[in-house]
């Protein structure tokens, strides 16, 4: 019972989950099947929601519950569902070779994780580690790494859809950073951001659909008509 | 004012008298050096007289420029003659035009002579004009350098001033700068007066003609005017050289005695210079047209040396 | 002196120009009316401008007034001092001539071209020139400057259907913008020090300039103004752009627009930058000499009448720069009197060149107008059908060759005098430069004379070389009046130089604090001297009179000695060759052959001769002769530069190859690098 | 209150246009809406000039001189574009662009026009929101909103190429904006120990700027880097500029003009807001070094593409890259002159740029090509008005006197000198000259030349009107600037430099 009041315990849990998130992200880098990378994203989002929930629970910050809930619904539920629907519609399941082959990509994401740690440590404030207010602070590195790796995924993948997935996991990184640094933004902002993400994915989805129809493939590296 | 007019009249008369004589003398001297009897000293007078009395033909292609040219050539030469000291240091019109004016007035005459040469539309006229303008153009810088060297000594381009200064400091002409300048100017003189080795005044071979080609279409009085102008120009340039470099006997005022003395000295000096020219003429062959620039380049370099030596020595 | 009228009259001329611009644009649908409006308003503006200029030159105290734009520090401020007055006077003389000339000249546009638009640009050109000469602040000056360039571009490309014209126009505007850039930098530097855009604040600010800053500013301004003035080696746009414009505009371009560059130099070098070191002056001098000699040498090889004149503009700009450079050197060497003389030589040559170059271009315009060709090899014999034009052109030719008694001679004489004095006034080996410059000036003069013998004789004398010039006709009266007015100006400024020169008194006093204008004149007012007590004297008036008087003995000789003075017309003898035809005549190419061979090092002439024969090579049916000289600066300097730039640009296009992954990679790499840069302490 | 109306008007106009599906009505709705918007903008300007700043909903919406300027420019641009759009789309319809079988499906006229006329107000709404939002998070949301609203405008014509352009625009924009969001987050973090997180106003700029000095410095450094990259992407600063040529050349002209003259300002506005915080917190050096670097880089990148350009639509994009580079550079030069120069440049650029697009649009619609090679010159014979305007605006947009952009560039140059960046100033001028030359050479060869014998191309009154009107505004503003406008700009500049 007392375990559930111990900030240190929560902190460990959060760290563990964050590590999981990172692992998932790196796994997604090597992933070939679109559907499974969508699922990976869903799980990742679920973990994030959980982290958010734990932070909210441990320092009684109610508005983070909202954020957690939204993440759960939109990112772990709605978006994966939409995307899988899209995959069904356009019947393209398998990602063709990424620009950089899997082992090398994974190596690079390792390096990016390192960069994440360097960046995070540059404004890491040890005096804040004590006490419950500091919950999840050392997940920041994971967040930055998540961001960078997501970015890397976008420029590494050929398929329009996987680029969208990369964009989403990059957003996840931001979310993790947000909750772990400042326990989220003001609620209005959170709502706005979620709304934007939703609309953005819809727009991109429509785009993907049209591209599929126009070029009967989703390979964006074929989009090279506009050039000097 | 009256004095000025009198001087002008006097010098004009002197110019018109001596000019043909000088030409004659040079012809005779040349003939003698070539062991010919040659024409008399007065031959040029006879030629002019004859030409003036002849009728003339004006080409149909020609315009009024053709007819204006002889007058302009003659007038410029005469006017220049009034700006340079002959017997006395202060020439009548020297206040109104220094050596620069002299050079440019002669250029004016040449300008119209070249136009006249082209006006008739004959290919020889064009040939002559082209060559004349070319040679005079490349002779110009050398002449200007030499003149500058002399003018720098007097710190003036005013010929009377230059003569005065020259008179006041005797034996100045022995200074290396003066000698070099003289050499330079002498070459230019030969080029300007169209004598061997640059041009042959006696030839009518189409390939070698320069001055003669220009005036090929002229005849009668106009030809006479042009010839007269040419001899005036020659006289003017020669007296320019002698009086700026060897100003002996130039009378500083217009007294009768001074003038007569000055006249004697003047004639003597001119005779010497004439001999020098004739000597050069007879001892050289005419150069090919495209060797002339080299000769003039030599004179340019001499001029430059003269200039440098003014403040080295 | 009461300064009130200057401002008002000047404002009137500005108003006339602006109104003219708008009116001619408004009436473009009715060409005839438009033509009247255009020319009359320009003439009115010129008259007012001239009036204001005369007052402005004579007045001692400058007039200054200013109009605000919305932004502080950017004000439209005028300053009408003696220098501005002088340049406005030049402008006014030319503008009057051109607007009279255009009255008939524009008639050929009717129905073919939009006279309204032409008038609009024409007035804007005059307006911007006035602004350039009177602007009191760098900002306003730059606006006038650039408007001038743009309008000139519009006028140069007026016949834009022709490809060459478009190319020339572009070359011009690009060079013009480069010079505007240099000026922008130079002025920004000065304003950075002075903290104000007013010219008036520059002299005091210049005292705080470090020597390197001063040098930098000088170089920038010399580049800027030099390009505009077309000094070698920045001249390439000039012979391209000036000929292709309508002739009345070419006259203005060569006559006065080039002078804007010189105006800037006088304004800035003598007034704005403090006392420049002597190397600056010597640089100007040397560049001047180079421009003069090379300009005339290239002009000799031109057989396009207007291009030939354009190259002569380069030459004369060089002569002007010689005077200016000498003035700069003398000022720093501590001889203000001498500097004043040199400056007067330069300024007077500006005025003279403006007049006779304008005259010559108008003459060329008339020739073009009535024969339809600029190629001298197709002209000839025009002196009979168009006697007045021929006479005016001859006056211009004599004047530009610097022959007495016309105006070109006086300014060159003054230039010689200042060079001569320069030898004594400066120390060290550099003093050699002055006499050498003098001799080069002499070479220039003689070559110019040769060139204009060619230009006049081949164009106007002997037999016509083509049908076009065979049935040429004299141009309408207003064109003749325009030319005649300038011809008279040439004669007046030549013969009356000694009465005109005192005008420069207030000018030099303003710029150098030395008023020598008055004591340039001795001998009852008709003798010009250097005003230094030594150096020499000349009197074009007396020379003129002398030339006239001495005609009497000549005539006497001819008519008395020659009793039977009866000129008989006959065929040209030509050493007995029968049947003279235009084919026998010397061509322009032939005329300059000796010089082409003598200076072949410079020209690198290329010639090819094909002879077509049927029986034996010794009896050719026809011979095609073709000869051209190498445009050294274009070939060696500008073309390689252009090619290099384009090659680099084309290589750079690989950046935008179309692959979104590459695009994202740019951002990603930038991000990572910057993050690592951001975290380092 | 006026703030609310500024937002409501476009927000209402969008559904109106969507449901009243008749062309004439939709056109009118847009015209009226943007006319009203411009009036409101003027009113806002007046209020700001009087009171210094206006706020609403206890500071949720907040307008000072800077935001007022951006609102004014946005409304002006949208009005001009809506006028031109009428003529433009009528011409499109006449020449049957919509009917022709595109890759996807035969596009019907009304739905397409509906798409445009209902999306544009949303687009404008989000641009206005950018200027009025006090909360930096909302600012970000609004800018993201501009992207989302304009993606469909970019792929309006539904060609393969426009899909490609839209995709690049969306992805690059999305990535860029997520960087910006990260930056915002870090700013919030670096501020939260000073202000505290729980309050809603924790991200309000008006609150942050007060105590920016105590922010956590290393965090702020990273925050500014991310913001610069993020909003820089939206402003098209090299090397994040790559989406611009594609998007600009594919979008219909009015939308492209709004992207170039409207969104650019919004992105730079966001950048400036953060620049203020950063320079208060870290001092100007850190920010200005980065800004100068990216500004010059953008100009340098623009030069070669303008010099050797085949397609005049893409050329306009590079010009706008160059201009955003100039503004960023000006901000980097800093000091009162630099900031003033930047804001002047922003104003003049937004006034001048649309005309350039309009002329290009006319040419493209008349010649049915956007390649110089196929245009073959001689345009002035068939469209004298457009030709003249095209040349004029080319000169104007490349910053030659007497046009207004010269004033701002001159100011920027002086800022460079007073900042002691002599070499950079020389580089700046060199780029300007090169760009002028490249631009003029291309356009002159397009406009001038012998008559290719095309039919006269200027029939539509709306297009003529918009061109003549805008041209006269440009000429006027070149010589004289209304005092209130300048006071507004000056006020904004003081705001940035902290002089007030």
Residue range C458-481, pLDDT digits in tens: 999 989 999 989 899 999 999 999
Q: Chain A interface residues facing chain D, Cβ-Cβ under 8 Å? A: 119, 122-123, 125, 147, 151, 154, 160, 163, 167, 170-171, 174, 177-178, 181-183, 185-189, 192-193, 195-196, 199-200, 203-204, 207, 210-211, 213-215, 220, 223-226, 228
Residue D490 belongs to what domain range? 293-500
Helix, strand or coil, per DSSP, at residue D106: coil
Average of per-residue pLDDT values in chain B: 90
Could you tell me the sign of the dihedral formed by the alpha carbons of B1, B5, B10, B15, in that order?
positive
Angle, CA of C97, C99 and C105, to the nearest 5°: 105
Task: List the subunits that have 3+ CB pairs under 8 angstroms with C.
Answer: A, B, D
Summarize the confidence of residues C440-456 as an average pLDDT: 96
3-class secondary structure, C21: helix
> Residue D474, exposed/middle/buried by CB under 10 A (0-12, 13-18, 19+)?
buried
- The string of pLDDT tens digits covering residues D305-361 is 999 999 999 999 999 999 999 999 999 998 899 999 999 999 999 999 999 999 999
C-beta atoms of A119 and C665 within 8 A: no
pLDDT score for D196: 64
> Please, where are the H alpha helices in D52-159?
65-94, 109-132, 136-154
Q: What is the ipTM of this complex?
A: 0.92
pLDDT at D197: 54
Per-residue pLDDT reduced to its tens digit, B179-197: 899 999 999 999 999 888 8
Q: Which residues of C touch D242 (CB under 8 A)?
A: 656, 663, 666
pLDDT in tens, D67-91: 999 999 999 999 999 999 999 999 9
Residue C373 gets the label, from left (phi > 0), alpha (psi -120 to 50) or beta, of: beta
Q: Please check the confidence at residue C40 and state whether its pLDDT lies above 90.
A: yes
Average pLDDT of D200-211? 82
How far apart CA B86 and CA C608 sit, in angstroms, is 54
Q: Are strands B56-59 and C567-570 parallel, antiparallel or unpaired?
A: parallel
How high is the pLDDT of residue D108? 63
Q: Rounded to the nearest 5°, which phi and psi values hold at D53? A: -150, 150
pLDDT for residue C434 is more than 60: yes
Facing residue for C173 by CB, picked from D344, D380, D440: D440
**Three-state SS at D142:** helix
Picking from C656, C661, C678, the nearest residue to A155 by CB comes out as C661
- Shortest CA distance from C653: residue in chain A: A228
Q: Where are the beta strands (DSSP E) in C256-407?
A: none
Residue D400 resides in a domain: yes
| CA–CA dist B286, D331 (Å, integer) | 78
**C496: pLDDT strictly greater than 80:** yes
Distance CA(C157)–CA(D448), nearest Å, equals: 9
Q: Are D167 and A185 inside 8 Å of each other by CB?
A: no
Mark whether B and A touch (3+ CB pairs within 8 Å). no
Closest by CA position to B131, among listed B210, B73, B201, B217? B210
DSSP assignment of D352-415 equals: HHHHHHHHHHHHHHHHS--BHHHH-S-HHHH-HHHHHHHHHHHHHHTT-TTSHHHHHHHHHHHH
pLDDT exceeds cutoff 70 at B141: yes
Tens-digit pLDDT profile for residues B71-121: 999 999 999 999 999 988 888 898 888 899 999 999 999 999 999 999 988
What are the tens digits of pLDDT across the range B213-268? 899 899 889 999 999 999 999 999 999 999 888 888 888 878 888 889 999 999 99
| Four-residue CA torsion sign, A56, A60, A66, A69 | positive
More confident residue, D410 or A214: D410
Confidence of residue A135 (pLDDT cuts 50, 70, 90): low
Residue C12: Cβ-neighbour burial (10 angstroms; 0-12, 13-18, 19+): middle
Cα–Cα distance, B215 to B114 (Å, whole number): 9
D399 contacts chain C (CB < 8 A)? no
d(CA C382, CA B63): 10
Task: Return the bridge partners of C78, or none.
Answer: C65, C135
Q: Work out how many domains chain A is built from and give that number.
A: 1
How distant is the alpha carbon of residue D473 from its chain centre?
Answer: 18
Angstrom distance (rounded) from CA B297 to CA C450: 19
Secondary structure element (H or E) that encloses residue D20, with its range = none
Q: Is D311 helix (H, G, I), strand (E, B) or coil?
A: strand
Within 8 A of C664 by CB-CB distance, chain A residues are 151, 154-155
Cα–Cα distance, D76 to D350 (Å, whole number): 9
Alpha helices, H only, B82-175? 99-119, 123-154, 159-168
Report pLDDT digits (tens) over D26-43: 999 999 999 999 999 999
Question: What pLDDT sits at residue D203?
Answer: 83
Residues in D closer than 8 angstroms to A118, CB to CB, are none
- For the packed helices B220-245 and B159-168, what is the interaxial angle rounded to 10 degrees? 40
Handedness of CA C151, C155, C161, C167 (dihedral sign): negative
Using a CB-CB distance cutoff of 8 angstroms, which residues of chain C are in contact with residue D218? 679, 681
| Interchain contact, C670 vs D402, CB within 8 Å | no
Cβ-Cβ contacts under 8 Å, D158 against chain A:
210
Q: How far is C33 from chain A (nearest CA, A)?
A: 51
Give residue B114's Cα distance to chain centre: 17
**Helix or strand or coil: residue C629?**
coil
pLDDT of residue D474: 95
Indicate if the pLDDT at residue A129 is higher than 50: no
The predicted pLDDT at position B174 comes to 77
CA distance C85 to chain B (A): 31
Tell me how far apart the alpha carbons of residues C605 and C587 are, in angstroms, rounded to a whole number: 17
Alpha-carbon gap, residue B216 to B218, rounded angstroms:
6
Pick C384 or A125 by higher pLDDT.
C384
Alpha carbon of D260 to those of B255, D77, D291, D294, D316: distances in Å?
94, 10, 20, 19, 9
Closest to A15 measured CA to CA, from A134, A123, A106: A134
Q: What is the CA radius of gyration of chain A?
A: 18
Q: What is the model's pLDDT at position A193?
A: 85
Inter-axis angle of helices A160-182 and A7-30, nearest 10: 160
Domain that holds residue B228: 2-312
Query: What gap in Å lies between CA A177 and CA A143, rounded to an integer?
Result: 5
Residue D121 is predicted with a pLDDT of 96
Given a cut of 50, is residue A131 above it in pLDDT?
Answer: no
- The C-alpha atoms of residue C430 and residue C480 are separated, in whole angstroms, by 48
Do residues B167 and B250 touch, judged by C-beta distance below 8 A? Answer: yes
The pLDDT value given to residue A130: 44
pLDDT higher than threshold 70 for residue D234: yes
Pairing between β-strand C75-80 and β-strand C63-68 as defined by DSSP bridges? antiparallel
Radius of gyration of chain B (CA): 19
For position D229, what pLDDT does the model report? 96
pLDDT at C289 over 90: yes
> Quick one: pLDDT band at residue A122, thresholds 50, 70, 90?
confident
Q: How many domains does chain B have?
A: 1
Range of the domain at A46: 2-222
Q: Rounded CA gap, C507 and C309, in Å?
A: 29
D-chain residue closest to A208, CA distance: D167
Task: Give the confidence band of C523 by pLDDT, cuts at 50, 70, 90.
Answer: low
The predicted structure's pLDDT at residue A185: 72
C370 neighbors C469 (Cβ within 8 angstroms): no
Quote the minimal CA–CA distance from D373 to chain A in Å: 14
pLDDT at B101: 95
pLDDT exceeds 90 at position C271: no
Cβ contact, residue pair C74, D407, below 8 Å: yes
Q: Cα dist. B60→B301, C569, C584, C625 in Å? A: 46, 6, 15, 29
Judged by 3 or more CB pairs under 8 A, whether B touches D is: no
d(CA D439, CA D427): 18
Residues C605 and C625: their CA atoms lie apart, in Å, by: 13
Q: Cβ contact (<8 Å) for C166 and D448?
A: yes
Residue with tokens 């320079």, as numbered in its chain:
D279
Q: Model confidence over D276-289: pLDDT tens digits?
A: 999 999 988 999 99
Helices (H), A59-101: 62-70, 79-90
Position with higher pLDDT, C261 vs C616: C261
Q: How far is residue C295 from each of residues B297, C306, C308, C320, C549, measured CA to CA in Å?
A: 21, 14, 10, 13, 37
Residue of D nearest to C654 (CA): D305
* Nearest-by-Cβ selection for D200 from A186, A192, A193: A186
Helix then strand then coil, % of chain C, to nearest 5: 75, 5, 20
Note whether D299 contacts C: Cβ–Cβ < 8 A.
Answer: no
Q: Which of B11, B101, B147 to mutate to test the interface with C (most CBs of C within 10 A)?
A: B101
Report the alpha-carbon distance of residue B40 to residue B42 in Å, rounded.
Answer: 5
Whether chain D lies against chain A with 3 or more Cβ pairs closer than 8 A is yes
Contact exists between C and A (3 or more beta carbon pairs < 8 Å):
yes
Assess C675–A contact: CB distance below 8 Å, yes or no.
yes
Confirm if C249 and C105 have CB atoms less than 8 A apart.
no
Both tokens assigned to C274? 């403090």
What pLDDT score does C550 carry? 93
Q: Which of B268, B250, B267 is nearest to B259 (CA)?
A: B250
Contacts of C416 in chain B (CB under 8 A): 100, 157
The answer to whether C676 contacts A118, with C-beta atoms less than 8 Å apart, is yes
Strand pairing partners for B156? Answer: C535
Whole-number pLDDT of residue A136 = 62
Neighbours, chain D (3 or more CB pairs < 8 A): A, C
Instruction: Give me the pLDDT at residue C46, please.
Output: 95
End-to-end CA distance of chain D: 25
Q: Do D245 and C656 make contact, defined as CB atoms within 8 angstroms?
A: yes
Strands (E), C15-147: 63-68, 75-80
Output the pLDDT for position B170: 67
**Closest approach of chain D CAs to the CA of C50, in angstroms?**
26
Residue B152 clears pLDDT 80, i.e. is over it = yes
Which residue has tokens 């196929």? D374
Question: Does A115 contact C at CB distance below 8 Å?
Answer: yes
pLDDT at C562: 63
Q: Please give the DSSP secondary-structure letter assigned to residue D454.
A: P
Q: Do C656 and A223 make contact, defined as CB atoms within 8 angstroms?
A: no
Whether the pLDDT of residue D46 is over 70: the answer is yes
Phi then psi dihedrals of residue B166, to 5 deg: -60, -40
Q: What is the pLDDT of residues C406-433, one digit of tens each?
A: 999 999 999 999 999 888 888 777 888 9
* Tally of CB atoms within 10 A around C504: 26
Point out the residue among B78, B111, B308 whose CB comes nearest to the CB of C453. B111
């Amino acid at each position: 019972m007392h375990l559930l009041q111990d900030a240190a315990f929560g902190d460990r849990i959060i760290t563990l989950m964050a590590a999981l998130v990172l692992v998932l992200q790196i796994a997604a880098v090597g992933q070939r099947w679109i559907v499974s990378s969508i699922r990976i994203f869903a799980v990742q989002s679920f973990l994030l929601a959980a982290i958010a929930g734990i932070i909210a629970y441990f320092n009684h910050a109610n508005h983070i519950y909202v954020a957690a809930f939204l993440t759960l619904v939109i990112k772990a539920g709605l978006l994966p569902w939409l995307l899988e629907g899209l995959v069904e519609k356009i019947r393209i399941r398998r990602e063709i070779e990424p620009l950089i082959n899997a082992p090398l990509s994974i190596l690079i994401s390792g390096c990016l994780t390192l960069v994440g740690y360097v960046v995070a440590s540059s404004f890491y404030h040890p005096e804040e580690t004590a006490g419950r207010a500091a919950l999840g602070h050392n997940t920041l590195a994971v967040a930055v790494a998540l961001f960078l790796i997501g970015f890397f995924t976008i420029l590494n993948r050929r398929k329009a859809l996987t680029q969208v997935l990369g964009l989403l996991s990059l957003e996840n990184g931001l979310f993790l950073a947000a909750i772990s640094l400042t326990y989220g933004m003001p609620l209005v902002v959170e709502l706005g951001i979620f709304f934007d993400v939703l609309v953005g994915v819809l727009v991109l989805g429509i785009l993907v659909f049209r591209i599929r129809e126009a070029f009967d493939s989703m390979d964006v590296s074929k989009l090279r008509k506009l050039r000097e | 004012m009256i004095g000025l007019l009198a001087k002008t009249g006097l010098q004009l008369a002197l110019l018109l008298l001596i000019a043909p004589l000088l030409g004659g003398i040079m012809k005779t001297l040349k003939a003698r050096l070539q062991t010919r009897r040659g024409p008399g000293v007065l031959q040029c007078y006879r030629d002019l007289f004859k030409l003036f009395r002849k009728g003339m033909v004006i080409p149909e292609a020609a315009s009024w420029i053709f007819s204006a040219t002889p007058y302009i050539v003659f007038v410029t030469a005469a006017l220049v003659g009034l700006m340079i000291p002959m017997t006395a240091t202060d020439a009548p019109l020297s206040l109104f035009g220094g050596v620069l004016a002299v050079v440019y007035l002669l250029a004016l005459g040449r300008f119209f002579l070249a136009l006249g040469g082209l006006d008739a539309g004959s290919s020889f006229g064009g040939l002559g004009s082209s060559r004349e303008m070319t040679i005079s153009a490349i002779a110009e810088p050398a002449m200007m350098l030499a003149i500058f060297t002399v003018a720098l000594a007097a710190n003036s381009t005013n010929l009377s001033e230059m003569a005065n200064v020259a008179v006041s400091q005797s034996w100045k002409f022995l200074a290396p700068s003066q000698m070099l300048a003289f050499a330079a100017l002498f070459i230019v003189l030969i080029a300007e007066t169209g004598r061997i080795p640059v041009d042959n005044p006696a030839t009518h071979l189409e390939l070698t003609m320069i001055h003669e080609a220009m005036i090929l279409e002229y005849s009668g009085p106009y030809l006479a005017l042009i010839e007269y102008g040419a001899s005036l120009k020659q006289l003017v340039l020669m007296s320019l050289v002698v009086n700026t470099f060897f100003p002996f006997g130039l009378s500083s005022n217009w007294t009768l005695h001074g003038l007569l003395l000055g006249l004697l000295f003047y004639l003597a000096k001119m005779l010497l210079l004439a001999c020098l020219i004739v000597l050069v003429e007879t001892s050289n062959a005419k150069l090919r047209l495209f060797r002339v620039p080299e000769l003039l380049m030599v004179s340019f370099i001499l001029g430059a040396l003269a200039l440098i030596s003014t403040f080295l020595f | 002196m009461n300064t009130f009228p200057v401002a008002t009259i000047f404002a009137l001329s500005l108003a006339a120009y602006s109104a003219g611009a708008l009116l001619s644009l408004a009436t473009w649908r009715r060409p005839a009316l438009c033509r009247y409006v255009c020319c009359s308003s320009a003439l009115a503006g010129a008259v007012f401008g001239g009036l204001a200029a005369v007052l402005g030159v004579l007045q001692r105290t400058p007039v200054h007034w200013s109009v605000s734009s919305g932004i502080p520090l950017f004000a439209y401020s005028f300053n009408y001092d003696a220098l501005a007055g002088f340049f406005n006077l030049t402008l006014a003389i030319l503008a009057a001539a051109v607007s009279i000339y255009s009255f008939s000249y524009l008639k050929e546009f009717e129905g073919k071209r939009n006279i309204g638009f032409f008038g609009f640009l024409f007035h804007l050109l005059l307006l911007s020139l006035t602004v350039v000469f009177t602007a009191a602040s760098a900002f306003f000056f730059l606006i006038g400057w650039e408007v001038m360039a743009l309008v000139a571009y519009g006028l140069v490309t007026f016949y834009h259907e022709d490809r060459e014209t478009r190319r020339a126009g572009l070359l011009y505007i690009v060079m013009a913008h480069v010079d505007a850039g240099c000026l922008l930098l130079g002025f920004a530097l000065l304003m950075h020090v002075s903290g104000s855009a007013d010219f008036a604040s520059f002299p005091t600010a210049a005292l705080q300039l470090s020597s390197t800053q001063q040098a930098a500013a000088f170089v920038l301004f010399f580049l800027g103004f030099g390009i505009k003035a077309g000094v070698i080696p920045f001249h390439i746009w000039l012979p391209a752009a000036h000929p292709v414009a309508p002739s009345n505009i070419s006259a203005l371009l060569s006559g006065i627009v080039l002078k804007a560059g010189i105006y800037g130099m006088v304004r800035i070098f003598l007034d704005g930058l403090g006392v420049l070191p002597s190397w600056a002056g010597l640089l100007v001098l040397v560049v001047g000499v180079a421009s003069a000699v090379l300009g005339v040498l290239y002009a000799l090889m031109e057989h396009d009448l207007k291009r030939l004149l354009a190259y002569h503009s380069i030459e004369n700009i060089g002569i002007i720069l010689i005077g200016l450079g000498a003035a700069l050197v003398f000022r720093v060497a501590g001889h203000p009197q001498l500097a004043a003389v040199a400056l007067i030589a330069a300024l007077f040559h500006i005025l003279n060149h403006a007049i006779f170059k304008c005259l010559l271009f108008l003459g060329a315009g008339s020739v073009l107008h009535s024969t339809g060709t600029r190629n001298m090899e197709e002209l000839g014999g025009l002196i009979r059908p168009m006697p007045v034009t021929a006479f005016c052109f001859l006056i211009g030719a004599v004047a530009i060759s610097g022959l007495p008694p016309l105006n070109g001679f006086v300014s060159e004489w003054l230039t010689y005098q200042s060079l001569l004095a320069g030898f004594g006034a400066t120390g060290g080996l550099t003093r050699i430069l002055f006499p050498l410059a003098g001799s080069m000036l002499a070479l220039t003069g003689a070559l110019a004379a040769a060139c204009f013998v060619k230009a006049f004789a081949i164009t106007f004398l002997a037999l016509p070389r083509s049908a076009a010039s065979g049935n040429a006709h004299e141009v309408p009266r207003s064109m003749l009046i325009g030319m005649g007015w300038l011809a008279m100006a040439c004669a007046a400024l030549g013969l009356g130089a000694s009465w005109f020169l005192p005008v420069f008194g207030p000018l030099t006093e303003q710029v150098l604090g030395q008023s020598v204008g008055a004591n340039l004149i001795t001998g009852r007012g008709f003798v010009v001297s250097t005003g230094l007590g030594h150096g020499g004297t000349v009197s074009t008036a007396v020379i003129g009179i002398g030339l006239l008087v001495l005609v009497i003995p000549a005539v006497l000789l001819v008519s008395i000695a020659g009793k039977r003075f009866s000129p008989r017309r006959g065929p040209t003898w030509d050493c007995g060759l029968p049947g003279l035809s235009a084919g026998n005549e010397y061509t322009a190419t032939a005329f300059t052959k000796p010089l082409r061979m003598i200076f072949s090092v410079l020209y690198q002439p290329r010639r090819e001769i094909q002879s077509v024969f049927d029986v034996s090579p010794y009896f050719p049916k026809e011979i095609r002769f073709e000869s051209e000289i190498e445009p050294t600066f274009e070939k060696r300097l500008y073309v390689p530069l252009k090619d290099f730039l384009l090659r680099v640009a084309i290589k750079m296009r690989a950046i935008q190859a179309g692959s979104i992954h590459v695009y994202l990679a740019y951002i990603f790499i930038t991000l990572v690098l910057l993050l690592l840069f951001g975290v380092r302490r | 209150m006026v703030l609310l109306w500024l937002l409501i008007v476009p927000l209402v106009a969008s559904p109106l246009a969507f449901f009243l599906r008749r062309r004439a009505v939709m056109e009118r709705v847009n015209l009226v809406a943007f006319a009203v918007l411009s009036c409101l903008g003027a009113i806002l300007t007046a209020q700001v000039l009087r009171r210094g700043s206006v706020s609403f909903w206890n500071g949720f919406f907040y307008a000072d001189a800077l935001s007022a300027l951006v609102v004014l420019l946005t409304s002006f641009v949208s009005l001009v574009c809506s006028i031109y759009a009428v003529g433009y789309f009528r011409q499109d319809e006449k020449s049957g662009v919509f009917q022709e079988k595109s890759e996807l499906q035969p596009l019907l006229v009304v739905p397409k026009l509906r798409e445009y006329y209902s999306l544009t107000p949303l687009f404008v709404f989000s641009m206005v929101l950018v200027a009025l939002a006090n909360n930096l998070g909302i600012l970000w949301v609004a800018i993201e909103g501009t992207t989302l609203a304009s993606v469909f405008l970019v792929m309006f014509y539904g060609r393969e190429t426009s899909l490609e352009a839209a995709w690049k625009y969306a992805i690059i924009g999305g990535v860029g904006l997520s960087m910006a969001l990260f930056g915002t987050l870090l700013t919030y973090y670096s501020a939260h120990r000073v202000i505290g997180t729980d309050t809603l106003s924790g991200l309000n700029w008006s609150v942050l700027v007060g105590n920016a000095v105590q922010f956590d410095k290393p965090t702020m450094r990273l925050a500014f880097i991310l913001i610069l990259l993020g909003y820089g992407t939206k402003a098209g600063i090299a090397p994040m500029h790559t989406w611009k040529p594609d998007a600009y050349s594919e979008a219909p002209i009015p939308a492209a003009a709004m992207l170039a003259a409207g969104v650019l300002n919004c992105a730079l506005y966001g950048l400036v807001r953060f620049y203020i915080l950063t320079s208060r917190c870290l001092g100007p050096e850190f920010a200005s070094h980065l800004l100068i670097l990216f500004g010059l880089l953008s100009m340098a990148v623009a030069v070669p593409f303008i010099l050797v350009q085949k397609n005049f639509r893409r050329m306009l994009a590079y010009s706008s890259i160059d201009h955003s580079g100039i503004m960023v550079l000006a901000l980097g030069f800093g000091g009162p002159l630099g900031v003033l120069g930047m804001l002047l440049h922003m104003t003049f650029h937004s006034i001048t740029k649309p005309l350039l697009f309009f002329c290009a649009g006319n040419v493209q619609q008349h010649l049915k090509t956007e390649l110089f090679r196929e245009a073959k010159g001689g345009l002035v014979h068939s469209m004298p008005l457009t030709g003249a305007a095209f040349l004029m605006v080319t000169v104007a947009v490349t910053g030659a006197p007497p046009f207004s952009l010269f004033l701002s560039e001159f100011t920027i140059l002086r800022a460079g000198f007073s900042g002691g960046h002599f070499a950079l100033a020389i580089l700046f001028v060199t780029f300007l000259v090169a760009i002028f030359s490249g631009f003029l050479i291309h356009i002159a060869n397009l406009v001038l030349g012998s008559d290719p014998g095309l039919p006269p191309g200027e029939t539509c009154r709306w297009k003529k009107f918009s061109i003549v009107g805008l041209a006269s505004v440009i000429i006027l503003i070149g010589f004289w600037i209304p005092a209130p406008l300048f006071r507004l700009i000056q006020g904004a500049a003081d705001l940035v430099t902290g002089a007030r």
